[in-house]
């Protein structure tokens, strides 16, 4: 088994192809000019040390030397042995409120930005745990199915916005229902759901659905973002503020944190309510919670232990370039005695 670490360096072979093409053009041009100057026998007498084979072999050695150095840059790796690794962790799902009330800036930089910060920093502290992301407003949508690809989770998270949902509102119950379908490993005994919202929802079904989640072994924690004093909802085009959201009477809408709903959900979900104003405290609590949870083996993978092989290609590349230097360019006595290209016989003739 083998791997190629830096495949982009293969493009350097284009330079070698150009070198060989240029050599062929110059070689043919010289041949044509020599024929115009004198016949073959006379040229051999005038240039007894000239050898076509020598010049062709020289360019081959140079091309081979450079080729091996390029392969060294690519860094081939050979698999020496197979290793078996058991991956252990817990299943973590984040349900993120992306309703327009989350754009309120009563908590810096905004409720939505603060929520993303918390989730992103928690993901950074995860080990081999699996993570999934749900977004919701008037409806709930799967942003990322549960996965071990934490880099992908952070990438999808950054794109979460109110524009990704078709209707506005705060349908927490729909997010809870969708969360039930996220945990696809029946043997996983530690399942966590973190619902992050400003709590602006008044659906009585929330507690019923939360109870169903706890029966399936899912612990529900809630994180409140915003302030009870609240603030207006900014309306922006790009980064430019165009005004604040108004109701039908033309009055500015003030959105507030409703933590009573979030506390009720957390209590029914066998979890805890967290106030997310302090990012560090919230992240540290969640990280400690997940690290202390019993880890369940959910994946066993075999992979090859690869070792770098670039040094062999560097050696071969330098060998061909050194041979080119000593065999074709140097006029040392021992090279002349070898008479590799039959040059001395030509001088005698």
* Domains delineated in the chain: 2-75+309-348 (no CATH), 86-301 (3.40.50.410)
CA 40/CA 50 separation, integer angstroms: 12
CA distances from 273 to 84, 87, 122, 197 (A): 40, 30, 16, 11
Mean pLDDT for back-to-back runs of 10 residues, the chain (349 residues): 82 92 88 69 60 78 92 83 68 94 93 96 90 92 91 93 80 89 78 92 69 91 95 87 89 92 92 95 95 73 71 91 73 53 50
Mapped onto helix, strand or coil, the DSSP state of residue 17 is helix
Mapped onto helix, strand or coil, the DSSP state of residue 290 is helix
CA 70/CA 7 separation, integer angstroms: 10
On whether the CB atoms of residues 150 and 126 are closer than 8 A, the answer is yes
Instruction: Give pLDDT, residue 262.
Output: 92
CA 312/CA 87 separation, integer angstroms: 35
**Cα angle value 160/166/167 (rounded, 5°):** 105
Instruction: Give pLDDT, residue 324.
Output: 80
- Whether the CA torsion 168, 173, 176, 178 is positive or negative: it is negative
Q: Which residues pair with 78 in a beta bridge?
A: 2, 307
Give which of 92, 156, 159, 160 is closest to 125, Cα–Cα: 92
Scanning the chain, the segments in alpha helix (DSSP H) are 13-37, 40-46, 52-74, 111-125, 150-158, 172-180, 205-215, 259-268, 279-292, 310-324, 333-338, 343-348
Residue with tokens 């009585």, as numbered in its chain: 204
**CB burial readout 15-48, b (16+ within 10 A) else e:** eeeeeeeebeeeeeeeeeebeeeeeeeeeeeeee
Instruction: Give pLDDT, residue 184.
Output: 80
pTM for this predicted structure = 0.62
CA 130/CA 117 separation, integer angstroms: 19
Neighbours of 261 (CB within 10 A): 23
Secondary element (H or E) of residue 92: strand 91-97
């Amino acid at each position: 088994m083998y791997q190629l670490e830096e495949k982009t360096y293969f493009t350097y072979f284009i330079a070698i192809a150009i070198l060989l093409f240029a050599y062929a053009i110059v070689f043919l041009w010289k041949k044509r000019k020599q024929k115009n100057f004198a016949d073959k026998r006379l040229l051999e007498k005038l240039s007894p040390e000239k050898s076509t084979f020598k010049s062709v072999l020289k360019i081959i050695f140079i091309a081979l030397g450079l080729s091996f150095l390029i392969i060294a840059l690519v860094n081939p790796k050979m698999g020496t042995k197979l290793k078996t690794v058991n991956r252990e962790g817990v299943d973590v799902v984040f349900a993120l409120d992306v309703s327009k009330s989350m754009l309120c800036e009563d908590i810096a930089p905004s409720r939505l930005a603060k929520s993303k910060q918390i989730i992103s920093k928690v993901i950074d502290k995860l080990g081999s745990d699996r993570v999934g992301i749900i977004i919701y407003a008037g409806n709930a949508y799967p942003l990322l199915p549960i996965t071990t690809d934490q880099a992908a989770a952070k990438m999808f998270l950054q794109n979460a916005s109110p524009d990704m949902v078709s209707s506005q509102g705060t349908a927490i119950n729909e997010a809870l229902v969708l969360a039930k379908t996220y945990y696809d490993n029946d043997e996983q005994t530690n399942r966590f759901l973190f619902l992050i919202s400003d709590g602006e929802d008044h659906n009585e079904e929330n507690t019923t659905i939360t109870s169903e989640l706890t029966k399936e072994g899912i612990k529900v924690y809630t994180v409140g973002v915003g302030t009870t004093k609240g603030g207006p909802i900014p309306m922006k085009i790009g980064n430019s503020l165009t005004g604040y959201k108004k109701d039908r009477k033309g009055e500015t809408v003030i959105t507030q944190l409703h933590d009573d709903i979030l506390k009720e959900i957390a209590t029914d979900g066998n979890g805890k309510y967290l106030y997310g104003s302090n990012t560090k405290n919230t992240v540290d609590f969640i990280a400690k919670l997940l690290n202390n949870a019993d880890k369940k083996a959910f994946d066993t993978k075999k992979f090859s232990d690869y070792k770098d092989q670039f040094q062999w290609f560097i050696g071969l590349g330098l060998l061909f370039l050194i041979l080119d230097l000593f065999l074709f360019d140097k006029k040392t006595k021992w090279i002349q005695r070898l008479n590799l290209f039959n040059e001395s016989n030509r001088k005698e003739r």
